[in-house]
Structure 1
Amino acid sequence: MMNLAWKEMKKNKLKFFILGSIVFLVSLLTFVISGLANGLSEDNASLIRNMPEGQFLMSSDAEETYSMSVIDPGLRDQVISEHGGYAMSLQMGFLTDDEDRQTGVTFVHSGDHQVSNGRIILDESLQKDYQTGDHLTHEQSGTTFTVAGFVPQAKFSHAPSAFLSADDAEQITRTKASQLIFVPGSDELSVSGLTAFSKSEFLNTIPSYNAEQLSLNMIVWFLIAISGMLFGIFFYMMNVQKIGLYGILKGLGVKTRDLFRMMWTQLIIITLIALTASLSIGFSLNAVSPGDLPYLLAPATAFQLSAVFTLVGFFGATLSGVQIKRIEPLQAIRQGEV
């Protein structure tokens, strides 16, 4: 059957080339959008995504909005004493250098980054603008910081993070309270006055993150559905044109499952060639895309999408091939002659 499938593809090169080209373009667009979704996710919340699994606690009256969460120092210290973990606070702001250039950052006080007073640790994306030892000022509080180093992949709300000491964070936020408590581990906590969120749940409470990911993922799955429809329509039309041929083959003793195998072989060949080409281009964009473009196609995501593409195409083609089972040899031969 594989030999017969290959002969038919060589005989109808144009038809199969058109299908392969469409699958290639649709899959490439899907991989690119998936890469953009993952890149935007990293650019928006890599600070949270790269943290270990655990529970984020915020005040229950904050309505699942971290910026409205206020955890009293007494309750914060009690929770940390009983369950471990550390406090976190996030505050958007600006830093000004000696040349009066302003840089938007997310000020972060986090217990897992030990920073001395008057010093600041920045996300590595700011290495192109600053270096260790530079002085930056927060004009609202009048505090001047010395850059102590850089950390990789630490962005929040599309802004590079700037890690501060507890005292400096208090100067900027003008409060001793914390917004969040992070407790490593997967066990759900129950603390009166606080609501617990897993890492994925907390990410979905970030308005910009949830909106971006939902929109882009809807496009990805819509494109996958389109690919399944394309396979179904193409093979349905091909099967209609080959009713007479199938009737002859059945009359010669070829079984229905062998005809399905021929169709599946053609599907696999087209899909493998199209996906290999689109994956090559998709991964190449990781290296050649501009640094300011948030694009990151992860291998695991790409191969999962490839598997879904193949399964959806298989389902679409098989559904269109149901008519093969209904073909009666004599009737099909007569229809083919007409």
Structure 2
Amino acid sequence: MFLAWNEIKRNKLKFSLIIGVLIMISYLLFLLSGLASGLMNMNREAIDKWDADAIVLNKDANQTVEQSIFNKSKVENTYKQQTTLKQTGVIVSNGKQEENALLFGVKSDTFLLPKIIEGQKVSAENEVVADKTLKDKGFKIGDKLTLSQSDEKLKIVGFSESAKYNASPVLFSNDKTIQNINPSLAEDKTNTVVVKDKNWKQKSLDNDLEAIEIEKFIENLPGYQAQNLTLNFMITFLFIISATVIAIFLYVITLQKTNLFGVLKAQGFTNGYLAKVVLSQTFIIALIGTIIGLALTILTGFFLPDAVPIKFSFVTLAIYGIVLIMVSLIGSLFSILTIRKVDPLKAIS
């Protein structure tokens, strides 16, 4: 480690270039991980707050809530804890701005309704509780909302915790309100039944219904898997780029020091010792690059607007940082193989 650090200090410019590239790679990697977490959260935030075990849908609905409609009596008292959920897409306007949102028809005492942070629960027809996302976009308590697809007008009476569903803000109303807007959701109908019951798989349902595990339901949300696969592919590719960059830089530096390694070997330094020097240098520059990249990422997070769907998990950042250092060490193996092939007699001749 001493020899490795001394060489880095004596060749600041050369090693600074490698560290600079690693900073950019780690910075982009950490930002992408935050973006991936943020986009995942946008899709599943409301569902995670349910803390449910399963969801019952019509088999012909392709696991999509809005396309699933069935009679509530088919699932009545089937599970230990269950509640109906009616859903319809709406475009709402408060006269100043327009927003795409989802309208949920739920009971006021249901576990589907997140914590109210301002105002009150729905107590009358055409009242809604909006999630915090709409508050951040300028909507406020008392706003009268017009709908593009209905003559009904809704009134915001409260705001809940942020509870986006499939990247859309949510308005929570009662069954009567959603029935007025979407007549197909009559009093005896529902889109789905959300279940809290660890033994849900043991319950029997009508042949035209199916119960789906919540995590599987989330994975089948429109665009969810494609989005995650794309971002994860980019993150994986960045790891590969990091290993490649380290390998190329260190390989070039090793070739430039072939004579030096030959002299060291002639003086009795073993291949194992020289390999440790290269690994130590790689660890130091990878650690410095990763820490600076992480610091820049956290600093950037303070200045990003709320509209950017980014969410940092320090556990994920730490794991990615460790993996980045490990792949950098793997990239240095090519240089170690080159050192092993150095012939002291040829190098000093």
What's the TM-score once normalised by structure 2's chain length? 0.85
Of the three residues 246, 249, 259, the one matched with 1:231 is: 246
Matching of residues 205-284 of structure 1 within 5 Å: 205-284=220-299
Unaligned runs of at least 5 residues, structure 1: none
Q: Tell me the equivalent position of 1:26.
A: 25
Unaligned runs of at least 5 residues, structure 2: 114-120
3-state SS, counterpart of residue 91 of structure 2: strand
2: distance between equivalents of 1:63 and 1:320? 53
1: distance between equivalents of 2:333 and 2:155? 65
3-state SS, counterpart of residue 66 of structure 1: coil
Shift of 1:23: 0.8
Q: Relative to 1, partners in 2 of residues 1:276 and 1:164: Cα closer, same or farther, differing over 3 Å?
A: same
Shift of 1:166: 1.9
Kindly report the root-mean-square deviation, in angstroms, between the aligned alpha carbons of the 2 structures.
2.4
Shift of 1:106: 0.8
Matching of residues 1-338 of structure 1 within 5 Å: 2-52=1-51, 54-79=53-78, 82-97=79-94, 99=95, 101-110=97-106, 111-112=110-111, 113=113, 115-118=122-125, 119-128=127-136, 129-138=138-147, 140-174=149-183, 175-176=185-186, 177-184=189-196, 189=201, 191-192=204-205, 193=207, 194-327=209-342, 332-337=343-348
Query: After superposition, what is the alpha-carbon deviation per residue over 1:75-103, rounded to whole angstroms, capped at 9, x for unaligned?
Result: 23243xx3322222332102233x37533
Q: For residue 305 of structure 2, what is the amino acid of its counterpart?
A: P
3-state SS, counterpart of residue 56 of structure 1: strand
Q: Tell me the equivalent position of 2:116.
A: none
- Matched residue pairs, number? 330
Q: Relative to 1, partners in 2 of residues 1:173 and 1:258: Cα closer, same or farther, differing over 3 Å?
A: farther
1: distance between equivalents of 2:199 and 2:76? 20
Shift of 1:141: 4.1
Q: Are the equivalent residues in 2 in contact too, given 1:5–1:263 (CA < 8 A)? A: yes
Shift of 1:8: 1.4
1: distance between equivalents of 2:212 and 2:244? 39
What's the TM-score once normalised by structure 1's chain length? 0.87
Shift of 1:226: 0.8
Shift of 1:276: 1.4
Q: Judge which range, 166-175 or 188-197, deviates more.
A: 188-197
Q: Are the equivalent residues in 2 in contact too, given 1:135–1:145 (CA < 8 A)? A: yes
3-state SS, counterpart of residue 153 of structure 2: strand
3-state SS, counterpart of residue 293 of structure 1: coil
Q: For residue 117 of structure 1, what is the amino acid of its counterpart?
A: A
Q: For residue 192 of structure 2, what is the amino acid of its counterpart?
A: L
Considering fraction of residues, name the structure with more helix. 1
Query: After superposition, what is the alpha-carbon deviation per residue over 1:19-68, rounded to whole angstroms, capped at 9, x for unaligned?
Result: 11111111111112222222222333322244425222322222233332
3-state SS, counterpart of residue 229 of structure 1: helix
